[in-house]
Amino acid sequence: MTKGAKVIVAVIVVLILVWGGYAVYISSKNEISATNQTSLEPIKIGFIAPLTGGYSRIGLNAKAAAEIAVDEINESGGVLNRQIKLVAEDGKCNANQSVTASAKLINVDRVSVILGGACNDETSAAAPIADASRVPMLSYCSTSDSHSALGDFIFRNIPKESSEIAYAASYIATILKLDKVALVHEKSERGFKLGDTFDKNLTDSGGKIVARETYDSKTSNLKLILSGVENSRPDVLYFIGDFESSIAAIKQAASIKTRMQFFGTSSLDNESLGEKLDKLGDGTMFSLNSTNSSSGFKQLMSAKLGFDKILPCSNYAYDGVKILAGVMNQAGTDGTSIKDALYKVHYTGGLGQPTYDFDDNGDPSEPVYLIKVVKNGTAEIYSPDSIESARPDSNEKATTTSTEN
């Protein structure tokens, strides 16, 4: 966020906390009279995602996954002998809307925890409110590196993007043994930081950057850049960009008949990949967060949505509910107790990642990745190795969450 935006968010946080305190004071008598009923009420988990607008498919898909986890937990007895309830708010992938959503969840719905946001802007805007209110927040989809410093109560179970970039650099040099790399990334603060991460990790792994170029995200014509790096005779072109920019680069690299191996990021893990490329992108490789969408989970998603397409963040939303529920079952519903327990959690049998542990920044401490290659217009797992053998059986529903003293 810009400095001005941070000031605005800070002011909003203060106003929200004042409003929240006033609301608590006004409702205190009613809460006292209802104390005996509290143990019978559901434990509320807030959920923030884009439920309308251009990114709603991501949000609605993740919401369905979270609801499946809620249903499974309730069928097994709930949390602390109480049912849990998902309270969803539309963040619209928008900072202002996410502020409103998080304020409502905390001060009106009185949720114990928040699962979200999905988009980076949603998480950036909601985090200061959740952190100041001591309501633990776990993002299932926000990968921005800046989110590692959002607050002591802010976590995510999806890995940050620089971890993926570092993994790809090491994989290219040590597994593929392709040591001459051309690096192309967006001309932005984020692009330069991720480019530097790739450069450092490639060099540390024995590789070498033979050409490095940047592009303007508003420019779709990349032929001149691609032709230029081709002249440096690299083994691999590593491209850091969003889905549309990556697609444009793949198509234009094919048009100039480049011999470079194209290697992209998880932005290519998109349901439109085949439609956009057909066979033009065959041979393209990219890294992505490890996922284990079992046939049983796909059936449950299909029953909810009418189709079994699981979008990238949905597995993490499912795991997020299970992690939060497991922690509350042991630590209770006090925000600080939940936060402390999350730093000690060890979760196994996940759909997004095989295991989850959180570091001091609330990020997954040992993220796992896969590599895919495009064949006949479809992305397939390129190197399953031991990661897949570590997966829970497709029919296994049980998960384990534990905390250490």
pLDDT along the chain (405 residues), means of 10: 47 47 42 50 97 95 97 97 98 97 98 97 98 98 95 97 96 94 96 97 97 91 94 96 94 89 93 85 90 83 88 94 97 98 95 94 94 88 48 37 44
Calculate the alpha carbon distances from 220 to 186, 224, 245, 254 in Å.
Answer: 12, 11, 7, 15
Q: Which residues contact 2 (CB under 8 A, 6 or more apart)?
A: none
| pLDDT given for residue 398 in this prediction | 37
Output the DSSP codes for 15-35: HHHHHHHHHHHHHHHHHHHTH
Alpha-carbon distance 93 to 54, whole Å? 9
**C-alpha 19, offset from chain centre:** 31
Query: Residue 236: how many CA atoms within 13 Å on its side-chain side?
Result: 25
Interval 311-320: pLDDT, tens: 889 999 999 9
All domains of the chain in start order, with CATH: 3-158+313-353 (3.40.50.2300), 160-290+368-405 (3.40.50.2300)
| pLDDT given for residue 39 in this prediction | 65
Calculate the alpha carbon distances from 396 to 107, 292, 364, 388 in Å.
Answer: 38, 12, 23, 15
Locate 39 and state its tokens: 């143990």
Alpha-carbon distance 130 to 154, whole Å? 8
70 C-beta neighbours (distance < 10 Å), count: 22
Q: Which residues contact 117 (CB under 8 A, 6 or more apart)?
A: 48, 49, 91, 98, 123, 125, 126, 139, 141, 142
Q: Which residues contact 212 (CB under 8 A, 6 or more apart)?
A: 182, 183, 184, 195, 199
Interval 30-73: pLDDT, tens: 443 444 445 689 999 999 999 999 999 999 999 999 999 999 99
CB 31 within 8 A of CB 98: no
| pLDDT given for residue 120 in this prediction | 95
| pLDDT given for residue 38 in this prediction | 54
| pLDDT given for residue 303 in this prediction | 93
| pLDDT given for residue 290 in this prediction | 81
| pLDDT given for residue 277 in this prediction | 86
